[in-house]
Amino acid sequence: MSSMRNVILPTDFSPNAQKAIAYAQNLFKGNTTTFYLVNVMDGAVPYSTTGIGTKRMAETINKSLLEQSNEGLETTMADLKAQGIAEEHTFVPCSLKGSFFNTIEKFIEEKDIHYVIMGTKGASGLKEMTLGSNTSSLLGKVLAAVLAVPENYTFQNIDELVFATDYEVDYSEKGLAPLLDLRRDHNSRIAVLFLDEQRKGLSGTQITAKSYLQTLLKEENSDFFELDGVGVAMGARLFTKSRRADLLCLVAKKHDKLLDLFRKSETKGMVNHADVPILVLNQANF
């Protein structure tokens, strides 16, 4: 990945979204970054509806949505300018219509996006983001890394990143780029965590994958840990908390237990409330 970053900041103009924007500015301080402030108008009515009356109604609805969207983006841009935008950062406001997922997915491909950074609604993780439940569908399905920032989280530093993994990924520099770039930017340590819920130990292929990951991460600023007999989502969260780490990273796969971090579960109080931002990489990039 080049040092030039392209980042989508989806916004619904909530305080939550504003906080994620502030986090992103701090995260990429000193790096040439283009931030696309994207407001998706997924309430827009397609014009293909028949009948002149419905067509007029659709036009009226869409016009008012576009006005609201443009107004919201203008206000956000004015606020950002008032607070001062770093010279290495460029903000591009975009009002887009369509379904949230398809619109973001297409935009990622068109603009060669590296990260999508958005606020979570706190208590119940990604499932109830202010940007609607469809946001969780981005995980593992879009090619860019998705970074979810908890509601009340303020950027400090990124001294340590936790990478929770099962050693069942074909690790590559390309796939890990969003994580490795952040580590390089912030000179962070990486704590790699393997969660062995069933206490099965590592298979031969997992041992090979682990040693390759060790090579990729270079020993001097990474540590490797194993936790067994604890649920994956719970273990990742507790470990991150105990290390006072600044970011939790995972690779999204289908049916991945780590994605329980974002789902309602019996241990509501525990898992749903992510304490630190979570960076989700897509397995398709490996």
| The predicted structure's pLDDT at residue 261 | 61
HSE toward the beta carbon, residue 144, CA cutoff 13 A:
25
Alpha carbons 156 and 178: distance in angstroms, whole number: 19
Sheet holding 115-119, edge to edge: 89-97, 33-41, 5-10, 115-119, 145-149, 278-282, 247-252, 160-165, 189-196, 222-228
In the chain the first and final C-alpha atoms are separated, in Å, by 14
| The predicted structure's pLDDT at residue 120 | 72
pLDDT in tens, the chain (286 residues): 447 999 999 998 888 889 999 999 999 999 999 999 999 987 777 666 556 677 788 888 889 999 999 999 999 999 999 999 999 999 999 999 988 889 999 999 999 999 999 887 633 444 444 334 545 668 778 999 999 888 788 999 999 999 999 999 999 999 999 999 999 999 999 999 999 988 999 999 999 999 999 999 987 789 999 999 888 878 888 899 999 999 999 888 765 666 666 654 433 333 345 678 989 999 889 8
- pTM score, two decimals? 0.88
Contact 72, 13 (CB under 8 A): yes
| The predicted structure's pLDDT at residue 257 | 63
Alpha carbons 69 and 43: distance in angstroms, whole number: 11
Q: Provide the 3-class DSSP secondary structure of residue 167.
A: coil
What the chain holds in terms of domains, given with CATH numbers, is: 5-149 (3.40.50.620), 160-285 (3.40.50.620)
Question: Phi/psi of residue 117, each to 5°?
Answer: -120, 125
| The predicted structure's pLDDT at residue 102 | 92
Contact 206, 244 (CB under 8 A): no
Q: DSSP letter string over 191-217?
A: EEEEEETT-----HHHHHHHHHHHHHH
